[in-house]
Structure 1
């Protein structure tokens, strides 16, 4: 299930279904005699008031229409038994399990790990390492051999030097000797990160193990994090569809010359940058930190600029040619600002094992579970070597009814643990004593069931968790309904979509456009000269040679088919053939030579297919909602609605 569609549905339908049984029992409306309470509507309305973009949705009557539509759809989804589908049940269960982690974690351990993570994200370590690879579940002899090998390599390193040994022993299969460069918190597995950060510069760590094998680390340098940069850029990309267009390197260097002539960076970005998102903002980009950008070249240039206002020379990335201006640089954000993000990272990281251990101890205390293991002698007596062959079965006379451990109100029996043993024997990679095996299995069984019991009862214990689960439960249901009823129509209603296009052709036209040349300059006087040359029908290349030189770019020309929204054209530009007057635009001056005006033109079905499908889906949804209103009559209690409006005005 793609969650971005759930977000879209959430914003469109405002589908936050809270468990609306509050003190206020007023029924606002009924859907086929099923009550919907005023308290629920008020919570939903108030919670979403700042989220909706459409002002009409803030009107109570308009919002009520959306809310009744939402309830109608839910009614239909349940009548179709979509909530009984195995895929729905499975996804909801997975979501509840994931969400529950935020509510049953041990906050003290989490806070300590978050503080440690912040400290490590404030610095970067430059290190190299040697790894002797060995599987996490390797046999004892293989594990010992790997450990002895890393010990010998460390002895060699201390005598011969780390780099010499690293380069010699790397084979890319059993032994890896790698230069890692600089890295900060969360870039390596937690154990590796901890050793690297805790080893002094110039020192070589003692051998340690991760899931990859045994390592030694040589720490070369530590430095403060490079922090965050805010930059603006001008980007020029190659127009492969226009063989006559200037090469991007030529154009970017012309723009760079204009910068050196004193023209404003922001003005040139507005006029000529091909990054349509940042150009209207003078080329300004959102702040970024090391490792956030896909273009390493861009990042390196940005971080190498020292002074605010400093501008780079033109440079190339995989995305095009750029000029970058440094607007602001700042160090790592404060701990308070980063804490929410760090909490989520810690919970997803291998650090989470430490949190899990603390959680289990907390739940043992909550449900009064003794640290003393129950007597497992009976299980020792029935277990045998078949378990390590993964063929072991419970004996026919198994005493399954015997009580084993009680968590809260739930009693677990021998049978529960016996079934667990059968189901997990595949996860027993190495042979060990039966007593040791059973002790580990019981710990795992108890831990799993402690967490599951807490998850299963969380909706009863935590109101906030219950509300969020309810929101997701209904959102998932509506997504399934909308996908099958409306959104997949493009696959099944191709004939109907074409008929809809034919009936609504007037809505799908190309706007009025011009074939024009736009000359842009910081100086009005220069454009007067250009105007005279254009009026003589002089070729563009010749005009360029007369107004520009190798060292100085006074005018930049943009040519092609343009509509009214084109960035080169002033707002409300009058489309007519001929040479325009000089006009001010984007902190510069422009003159437009319109060769021809192209009238509105009917789009073909293929050209407008995406818009047609969207409009058709809206049309189909409206008709469908009318059918639902007939199927499930909605009755609004006007006196209750009036009370709600009065309450909201206060």
Structure 2
């Protein structure tokens, strides 16, 4: 509810709110000596001229009244210190941080990654690889050994053949030589995906590292993506060393014969499929694309089914024997259709590190941060083995006041980074060197503070961001004010709302209405038939069946209590009992069976409650605004106003 109401107020804020600059020029009016400038008024008036729906608001004086009332409400909110409420500040800061991301990140980098991702999900790569497994935080010596090993295996693969070497070296522990089948974008870690998609078919990649270790990849094929497939299956598993079980191939063939005899696939899956996860759903599996399943044979059969409802012959995988039925098949969507989905995936994926890296590089250049940081040597010198035990403290002679780095006009000292080192020592890899620890911690420290500094100063540097934030800031403030002053009190003030109703009963009236059945058709001849049937008091359902048959709808019926403004009734409709004449209405014809004519009458309080509350809120707000005008002095600069009128007219 709050979001809906806030969105309404934000529209008001869009119409009225932009930051007034103290040096922006001539003052148009003041609210208790707080100036509002001509430049602000003209800017928002011209910007939002097409947004206002009430023509009167385009009149300068009418617009000025609305604008003044808006400023009066904001003045009251600040007098009540609503802008200092913790809940208000939290919500505003959350919004600012979210909004800032749209302004500080380089959209070109994100767009390029999204386009690359779409290209990759549009193709399937078939590849095998060899992996020398090493921990992500392996020491330099072990890293070098792994790199040299994979390099030698690549040389061998070029001479002896990749498959020969892959099968020979695989031990499933430290060395993995695996056939990966087909895969698409987002199916592998990004570095592996890059290597596979950037290696030509038939070629072997250069060695590359992922978080699992060092790889080489042999690309066997590249094809257009086959999209997404949804199937159901019946599976008979292969039970090792179970001599009592029926032969699984014979059993699947028997089930296949029952299918060919016309029995229902889903029913047979529920009765006989040994895939417990899908049997209860008639064998239905989640949708999948190439490379998503661990059974290439299953995928091949599934994607080779062409028409929905097609059923495969029995086939064997490592899991058992299967029969597959096609439920749905979708090709790769267009780029525009999935652009937002891909962008969300990119920002969750390892690719996001490239977006972050581009931002850090941009901010370092903007704030002229040197890549080299000679002070790090000092921090390396003060670390000791206590750091790995989470018991390290800054030394007593620590040079805390020395300058470390300056971002814009904010100075960071040795103490700032020293405290950060002390707070983040938990979980440090004991195999890391002190130099590596300090370097990585400094990068994180610097990057975090660069982003935070940019966020905190974005309003000063980016006019568009400043306007949007101020629209939200004042809209949120106005929401809190209206909620506490008007909306909540008007709803809870039951005695006052009843008094308002009693004083304004003439506003809450049911107009003259009819209880009627209205038949509408473009065919006047058919409608004459309907009129005759209605005169015979024939049941409405019977009439429908007589005039709407053979799958065609010739007449649409509307029934209920209707006033003169009801869309089913023409403007010149006569309110009298019985079967009406045939009227021409909205490029069609209507005839009505008026069962009763209901005279105009007052609504009870309960019948009009929603309207009464809305009207009472408007009434209460009007009185409240008048009170604000009495509370705060508004002085309009008439000379400035006349110049504004002339400028807008011209």
Establish whether TM, by shorter chain, passes 0.5. yes
Superposition deviation, residue 635 in structure 1: 1.5
User: Could you tell me how far apart the structure 2 residues matched to 1:614 and 1:187 are?
Assistant: 55
Deviates more, 1:392-401 or 1:188-197: 188-197
User: Could you tell me how far apart the structure 1 residues matched to 2:608 and 2:126 are?
Assistant: 56
Q: Note if contact 2:521-2:590 (Cα within 8 Å) is conserved in structure 1.
A: yes
- Equivalent residues in 2 for 1:154-193, closer than 5 Å: 155=178
Secondary structure of 1:581's aligned partner: coil
Superposition deviation, residue 621 in structure 1: 1.4
Closer/same/farther in 2, CA of residues 554 and 476 from structure 1, 3 Å limit: closer
User: Could you tell me how far apart the structure 2 residues matched to 1:490 and 1:197 are?
Assistant: 64
TM-score, normalised relative to structure 2 = 0.65
The equivalent of 1:599 in structure 2 is: 599
The equivalent of 2:478 in structure 1 is: 478
Pair 1:533-2:533 in alignment: yes
The equivalent of 1:18 in structure 2 is: 19
Superposition deviation, residue 631 in structure 1: 0.8
Superposition deviation, residue 534 in structure 1: 2.2
User: Could you tell me how far apart the structure 2 residues matched to 1:370 and 1:617 are?
Assistant: 60
Superposition deviation, residue 494 in structure 1: 3.6
Superposition deviation, residue 440 in structure 1: 1.1
Secondary structure of 1:67's aligned partner: helix
Secondary structure of 2:370's aligned partner: coil
User: Could you tell me how far apart the structure 2 residues matched to 1:383 and 1:529 are?
Assistant: 98
The equivalent of 1:29 in structure 2 is: 29
Pair 1:645-2:642 in alignment: no
User: Could you tell me how far apart the structure 1 residues matched to 2:42 and 2:59 are?
Assistant: 13
TM-score, normalised relative to structure 1 = 0.65
Closer/same/farther in 2, CA of residues 218 and 78 from structure 1, 3 Å limit: farther
Q: Note if contact 2:195-2:208 (Cα within 8 Å) is conserved in structure 1.
A: no
Q: Note if contact 1:578-1:595 (Cα within 8 Å) is conserved in structure 2.
A: yes
Superposition deviation, residue 500 in structure 1: 2.9
User: Could you tell me how far apart the structure 2 residues matched to 1:596 and 1:101 are?
Assistant: 62
Q: Note if contact 1:578-1:594 (Cα within 8 Å) is conserved in structure 2.
A: yes
Superposition deviation, residue 104 in structure 1: 3.2
Q: Note if contact 1:125-1:196 (Cα within 8 Å) is conserved in structure 2.
A: no
Pair 1:582-2:550 in alignment: no
Superposition deviation, residue 439 in structure 1: 1.6
The equivalent of 2:55 in structure 1 is: 55
Closer/same/farther in 2, CA of residues 389 and 2 from structure 1, 3 Å limit: farther
User: Could you tell me how far apart the structure 2 residues matched to 1:509 and 1:190 are?
Assistant: 67
Q: Note if contact 1:22-1:39 (Cα within 8 Å) is conserved in structure 2.
A: no
Q: Note if contact 2:136-2:211 (Cα within 8 Å) is conserved in structure 1.
A: no
The equivalent of 1:134 in structure 2 is: none
- Equivalent residues in 2 for 1:545-584, closer than 5 Å: 546-547=546-547, 549=549, 554-584=554-584
Q: Note if contact 1:515-1:562 (Cα within 8 Å) is conserved in structure 2.
A: yes
CA RMSD of aligned residues (A): 4.7
Superposition deviation, residue 359 in structure 1: 2.0
Superposition deviation, residue 152 in structure 1: 8.8
Pair 1:438-2:453 in alignment: no
Number of equivalenced pairs: 506
Structure with larger Rg: 2
Superposition deviation, residue 449 in structure 1: 1.7
The equivalent of 2:522 in structure 1 is: 522
User: Could you tell me how far apart the structure 2 residues matched to 1:566 and 1:153 are?
Assistant: 74
Task: Give the gaps of 5 or more residues in structure 1.
Answer: 130-136, 163-179, 227-303, 305-330
Superposition deviation, residue 49 in structure 1: 0.8
Q: Note if contact 1:579-1:592 (Cα within 8 Å) is conserved in structure 2.
A: yes
Superposition deviation, residue 604 in structure 1: 4.1
The equivalent of 1:240 in structure 2 is: none
Superposition deviation, residue 349 in structure 1: 7.1
Closer/same/farther in 2, CA of residues 473 and 186 from structure 1, 3 Å limit: farther
Superposition deviation, residue 62 in structure 1: 0.8
Q: Note if contact 1:514-1:596 (Cα within 8 Å) is conserved in structure 2.
A: yes
Superposition deviation, residue 348 in structure 1: 7.9
Q: Note if contact 2:417-2:445 (Cα within 8 Å) is conserved in structure 1.
A: yes
Q: Note if contact 2:97-2:455 (Cα within 8 Å) is conserved in structure 1.
A: yes
Superposition deviation, residue 586 in structure 1: 4.0
Superposition deviation, residue 527 in structure 1: 2.0
User: Could you tell me how far apart the structure 2 residues matched to 1:636 and 1:115 are?
Assistant: 54
Secondary structure of 2:526's aligned partner: helix
Secondary structure of 1:29's aligned partner: strand
User: Could you tell me how far apart the structure 2 residues matched to 1:200 and 1:567 are?
Assistant: 66
Q: Note if contact 1:459-1:465 (Cα within 8 Å) is conserved in structure 2.
A: yes
Secondary structure of 1:457's aligned partner: helix
Q: Note if contact 2:20-2:36 (Cα within 8 Å) is conserved in structure 1.
A: no
1:84-141 CA-to-partner distances (Å, cap 9, x unmatched) read 2233333333333333334433455345335435656xx7568999xxxxxxx99989
Task: Give the gaps of 5 or more residues in structure 2.
Answer: 128-134, 140-145, 147-169, 229-306, 308-332
Q: Note if contact 1:15-1:475 (Cα within 8 Å) is conserved in structure 2.
A: no
